[in-house]
Each structure stands twice: as C-alpha cells, then as structure tokens.
Amino acid sequence: MKDLFKRRETSLFVIILILAAAVGFRAHDFVTPGNFLFIFKDSSILFVVSIGQFLVILTGGIDLSVASIMGFTGMSVALLDKVNPNMPLVVIILAAMAIGFVLGSFNGLLVSALNIPPIIATLGTLSIYRGFVIVLSGGTWVSADQMAAPFRDFPQASFLGLSNMICIAIVVFAVFAVFLHLTRKGRDIYGIGGNMLASQYVGIDVKKTNFMVFALSGILSGLAGYLWVAFYASAANDSAAGLELQTVAACVVGGVSILGGYGTIAGVLLGSIFIGVVKNALSMIRISPFWQVAIQGFVILLAIVLNTVLDRRAQASMLKRRVL
C-alpha cells in the first residue's frame, strides 16, 4: 500500500519534470529561475486553498464555496486596508482568516447540524458568498494604488531569502502534515472518509469532525483570499472565481480519492504545482488562455478515472495476495 502511494507521487513528479522539459524546449523563457519562482508563488495560493479542499474531500465531502470565500475575504481585507492604511499587516491577515472561519463554519453547520449534503450546501453558499462580495463592494473594485504598501508588497517580499508566498506554503504544509499524521483529530478525518459508520461506532465524533474540516477550509481560503488580492494587486468582484474547480483538480491529480479516506499532503502539493505548470506553460507556448478551462476539465476527469481504476486494481491485488 505504501509503495503504491510512493509510486503515485514519484510518477506525478516525473510527469511534471517531463512536461517542464517539453515546454522549455518550445519556449526558452519557461525554464528561467524567474519563471519557476513565479510558478511556485502562483501555485502556493492554489496549494493553500487546496489543502482545505483536501481535508473536506478526505471526509468524503466537497467544498465548492472556497473560491467565493476567497473573493469575499479578499474584498473585505482590501476595503479594510483602504479605509485604515495604517493597520498592521498581521491584523489584516488574522482578519482574513477570521472571516474565512465564519464563512467556513456556516458551511460546516449546514453539513453537520442540518445533514445537508456538502455538494448542495456549498453550491448554495458558492453563490451566496459571491453575492455578498457585490453587496460589500457595491460593484466597484479596489485597485493597487488604493492599497497600503505593506499590504501590497508582502507577496513580493521575502523572508531569509525565500519568497513570503513560498514560506507560507511551507508552513501550511508542515502544520497540516503534522496535524494529519500525528494527531488524533487528523487520523479521525481519514477514518471518517474510509468508513463513516465504523468511525462512528469506534467513538469518533463525526459531526464535530465534519464541522471542523469545513471551518479549516474556510480559514485557509480566507488566508488565500488575502494572498490572491495582494499578489495580483487588485480586489475585483470576480476575483478567484472558478478556482474551486482547480482545487478539486489539484487534489484528484495528486491522487486523493474523491470518495474520501485516501490521499497525501505531498500529493496535493504536486497536484497544485502540476496545475500551476500547465497554466503557465499554456501562456508560454502561446496557446489561447481559453484552453485552460477545457484542459482543467479533461485533467480532472482523467485523474478521477485513473484513480478509480488504479485503486480497484490495488485492492484486487491485495485480495489476491491474502487468498494465496
């Protein structure tokens, strides 16, 4: 079992390398350190949100509202910064995470307390939260020159020679790797996705855990919402719209089972980088950006079908081994 996981991630890593080499052959600008840095920065936003999506998918749910949460928190903190330019950045980032937590908790309540299927609940909040963005902004946007310098420069700055965006991705990776693998709560998440009924019988609080994953997804989306607005230096009404599908793609490409219970944080990281490389490569070899959505859909479908087929084969071979 462990070998299969390992093979999945190494093969994805090799695929990314081959893809990068092939694109680099066509467009020499692609293989510059500057461009790779841009890809990693760009992917780190996707990675942060995808971790939230990953936690929800692990329990067997899905969170379609992540991009709307990002849009709303991004707009909120941009307006907050516009009104109080002297507000410390730490407060802004904490505010983004707090707003994300509130919106994520609402999803969590709908799913855990009211038994609404996650797909339906978050399909509803996807449009509710996006509607809130328009109400909040009154249809206008916040542009770069209306943002305070520290707010706008944070994603471009670096810490100990490493870009802040990449630092944040590393911290998120480390925190959630520890959480998922070394804490009881983290193992509960895998348990629920693997077999909900069995988890309930061994005493895992399924409702509480369901609530928790949505709240965490909200917090991470809130953080990513700030990063998005600061990185692209504008808070528009449709910022990050459609990103929810990219997070699902990053997860399934990374080998996370859409049924829950199965997947690794390293897989999600590689999945996010894969999406980032594809996105960047398209513009580098001058393929129309209109291809992006179609390719994304194709990649999602292919990854899901492959995951299902491979999982089944792995299970079959395990059974065979046991019989012999």
Partner 1 sequence: MTGQKSGTETSARAGTSRDGASRTRAHSLRNLATQWEMLLVYLLVAVFLVNSFISPYFLNAPNLLDSTFNFMEKAIMALPMMLVIICGDIDISVASNLALTSVFMGMASAAGAHTPVLILVGLVVGSALGWFNGMLITRFAIPSIAVTIGTLSLYRGIASVILGDGAYTVYPRSFAYFGQGYIPGTHVPFELVLFAVLAAGTGFLLHKTSFGRRVYAIGNNQTTTRFSGVNVDRYRLIAFTLNGLAAGIASILLTSRVGSTRPNIATGWELDVITTVVLGGVAITGGRGKIWGVALGVFLLGFLQFGMGLVNIPGQVMNIADGFILIIAIMAPELIRRGRAKASLSARRAAKAP
Binding site for partner 1 (CB under 8 A): 60, 62, 110, 114-117, 119-121, 123-128, 130-132, 134-135, 139, 197, 237, 245, 248-249, 252, 258-259, 288, 290-298, 300-301, 304-305, 308-309
The string of DSSP codes covering 4-62 is HHHHHHHHHHHHHHHHHHHHHHH-GGGGSHHHHHHHHHHHHHHHHHHHHHHHHHHTT--
Instruction: Report the nearest approach of partner 1 to the CB of residue 55 (Å).
Output: 17
Cβ–Cβ contacts within 10 Å for residue 117, how many?
12
Q: Is 86 or 288 the residue whose CB approaches partner 1 more closely?
A: 288
Instruction: Report the nearest approach of partner 1 to the CB of residue 314 (Å).
Output: 15
Q: Is 149 or 294 the residue whose CB approaches partner 1 more closely?
A: 294
Burial 81-109 (b: 16+ CB within 10 A, else e): beeeeebebeebbebbbebbbebbbbbbb
Cβ–Cβ contacts within 10 Å for residue 312, how many?
10
For 158, the 3-state DSSP assignment is strand
Q: Is 203 or 290 the residue whose CB approaches partner 1 more closely?
A: 290
Distance CA 90, CA 95 (A): 8
Instruction: Report the nearest approach of partner 1 to the CB of residue 289 (Å).
Output: 9
Collect all residues with Cβ–Cβ distance below 8 Å to 91 and sequence separation of at least 6.
none
Instruction: Report the nearest approach of partner 1 to the CB of residue 121 (Å).
Output: 7
Instruction: Report the nearest approach of partner 1 to the CB of residue 245 (Å).
Output: 5
Which is nearest to 204 in space by CA: 182, 180, 188?
A: 188
Q: Is 68 or 264 the residue whose CB approaches partner 1 more closely?
A: 68
Instruction: Report the nearest approach of partner 1 to the CB of residue 139 (Å).
Output: 8
Instruction: Report the nearest approach of partner 1 to the CB of residue 218 (Å).
Output: 16
Distance CA 193, CA 180 (A): 13
Cβ–Cβ contacts within 10 Å for residue 301, how many?
12
The radius of gyration of the chain from alpha carbons, rounded to an integer in Å, stands at 20
| Backbone torsion region of residue 141, taken as left when φ is above 0, otherwise alpha when ψ lies between -120 and 50, otherwise beta | beta
Instruction: Report the nearest approach of partner 1 to the CB of residue 185 (Å).
Output: 23
Collect all residues with Cβ–Cβ distance below 8 Å to 25 and sequence separation of at least 6.
none
**Residues present in the chain in total:** 324
Q: Is 139 or 203 the residue whose CB approaches partner 1 more closely?
A: 139
